[in-house]
Structure 1
Amino acid sequence: MIGLETVGAALEMAVFGLLALVTVFFAIFVVIAKDVVRAGLALIMCMFGVAVLYILLNAQFLGIIQVLVYIGAIGVLILFAVMLTKRELGGGSRAN
């Protein structure tokens, strides 16, 4: 018979693997995204995925610091900087 610990370990590995794949997906989306705002949001999701991975690896302090510092400060700073920059629509040169 399969023990309860074995089932729990298999479930934990499955959740860890799925979360790692989602985190890698968001990391790739950061690189290939054409819209800077969406890339910034994907970066925040990637950082959140890393924080949850830290928590699953029993490094709760690193997970909390990841959320507070990187998502709370750096991620919001990047989004505000992107949203406050002046963008021209159309991308073409202006005729006088």
Structure 2
Amino acid sequence: MVSEMVGIIEGIIFLIVALVLISFAILSVVTRDIVRAALALIISMFTVAAVYIMLNAQFLGVVQILVYVGAIGVLILFAVMLTKKTMGRENND
């Protein structure tokens, strides 16, 4: 009885994490603001790490966080910040 309840709870948590992953992955592709796209990509990488940890692959989850979120996420954000792009509207009156 208890093991069935634990399995149901794990399934519900996995479903929630998967929905968050899918929504942020779609958001990172669809959005026009490049900073929001980069942040959505980083959040989706975190949720992939959560899926790895839920599948009992802790090493892959930690590597996902260290390599992808830590290194590549910071690299993307620095590239976005160093790219000269105007924010907001400019009035040329």
Structure 2 residue aligned with 1:13: 11
Deviation at 1:88, TM superposition (A): 3.1
**Mind listing any 5+ residue stretches in structure 1 that lack a counterpart?**
none
RMSD between aligned alpha carbons?
Answer: 1.5
Distance in 2, matches of 1:58 and 1:6, equals: 18
Q: C-alpha separation between the residues in 1 aligned to 2:55 and 2:87?
A: 45
Write the distance in 1 (CA, Å) between the matches of 2:82 and 2:88: 18
- For the residues of structure 1 that align with 2:74 and 2:63, how far apart are their CA atoms? 15
Structure 1 outlier segments of 4+, above 2 Å: 88-92
* Aligned equivalents of 1:18, 1:52: Cα separation in 2: 11
Q: Give the alignment's TM-score, normalised by structure 2.
A: 0.92
Sequence identity percentage: 55
1:74 — aligned with what?
Answer: 72
- Which TM-score applies when normalising by structure 1? 0.89
Q: What is the distance in 1 between the residues matched to 2:40 and 2:87? A: 22
Taking the aligned partners of 2:88 and 2:64, their CA distance within structure 1 comes to 37
Structure 1 residues 22 and 89: alpha-carbon distance in aligned structure 2, compared to 1, 3 A threshold: closer
Higher Rg = 1
Q: Which residue of 2 aligns with 1:83?
A: 81
- In 2, Cα distance between the equivalents of 1:26 and 1:45? 7
Number of positions where the alignment pairs a residue of Structure 1 with one of Structure 2: 91
Q: C-alpha separation between the residues in 2 aligned to 1:91 and 1:61?
A: 46
Q: Report the AA paired with residue 35 of structure 1.
A: D
Deviations 1:63-87 (A, max 9, x none): 0000000000000100110011001
1:61 counterpart (42, 59, 74) = 59
